[in-house]
Amino acid sequence: MKHLIDITDLSTREIDSIINIAMDIIANREKYSECCRHRKLATLFYEPSTRTRLSFTSAMMELGGNVIGFSDAQTSSVSKGETVQDTVRVVENFADIIAMRHPKEGAPQEGAEVARVPIINAGDGSHAHPTQTLTDLLTIMREKGRLHDFTIGFCGDLKFGRTVHSLIQALSRYENVRMICIAPDELRLPEKYKTKDIVKEVRTLEEAIPELDVLYMTRVQQERFLDKNEFERVKNCFELNMDKLINAKEDMTILHPLPRVNEILPEVDSDPRAAYFRQVENGKFVRMALILFLLNISLEV
């Protein structure tokens, strides 16, 4: 039995395998429609979510399975003081696999330590978001045709952005991926996530955009700030508009894990380089593939 708590729990070979399964699902939807018949996914979301929770739900339903769980911890026994480990011990009696989102870093790992079914980390605090990383990788593969030999810029909240942290860890294992960090001093990437592939750090989007094959925008996350004044100072640091795209490559891909606030203006949505809504759909396909992978359900790909 395997859990997915951090993207580093998967080898590059396993990541490539999951992406290949996702690509096959996209090409052969009907082939996978009954793969998880009589299987159940439990979604334990202790933190608000739209895309991730609905993506997991849709993924399991399209595989022919069922979904149980909660989207508000206060409607469960958590409100009575039940621990994460006890919740997992209870829920595993009703489900074959569990997806958990939690505001506390390490909570999914705590659950995995006692679980008898696979646990998927659907985001824990500012630590990691491995299924978003798989989504990002599938999107890059579909948009660029490769996971090597390109330059990507990470822009916005690199301090608290768990999607950025996970994607950097994944991409650092592929060949010749150059990374540029674009953030104000208050939101710079923590040292523990810096790798040799991060070629420079800049403070403005204009400094980096001409070099980029992929631009990964992020929102400034108010919920991660203890100091509201600090949030007010940096919340609108970056704003991607059509004027800033004038100096970008014609085939640059724009990604965003969503939700966005002010960092990408709606005028950009109609630009063919804007891939963030295509990215959302890719999340469903890659989570379908991940569920099959963790449940050891294999079809010929």
Q: Annotated catalytic sites, by residue?
A: 51-52, 80, 101, 129
The number of beta carbons lying within 10 Å of the beta carbon of residue 54 is: 15
CA distance 175 to 148: 5
Residue 161, φ and ψ in degrees, nearest 5: -70, 95
Q: What is the DSSP track for 24-38?
A: HHHH-TGGGTTTTTT
In the block, residue with structure tokens 């490559």: 249
**Per-residue DSSP letter, 291:** H
Q: 3-class SS at 118?
A: coil
CA distance 67 to 61: 7
CA distance 245 to 249: 8
Q: Which are the contacts of 63, defined by CB distance < 8 A and separation ≥ 6?
A: 32, 33, 34, 35, 36, 39, 288, 291, 292
Q: Which are the contacts of 76, defined by CB distance < 8 A and separation ≥ 6?
A: 70, 82, 87
Q: Do residues 97 and 2 touch, judged by C-beta distance below 8 A?
A: no
> Which stretch of DSSP H or E encloses residue 154?
strand 150-155
Q: Do residues 188 and 203 touch, judged by C-beta distance below 8 A?
A: no
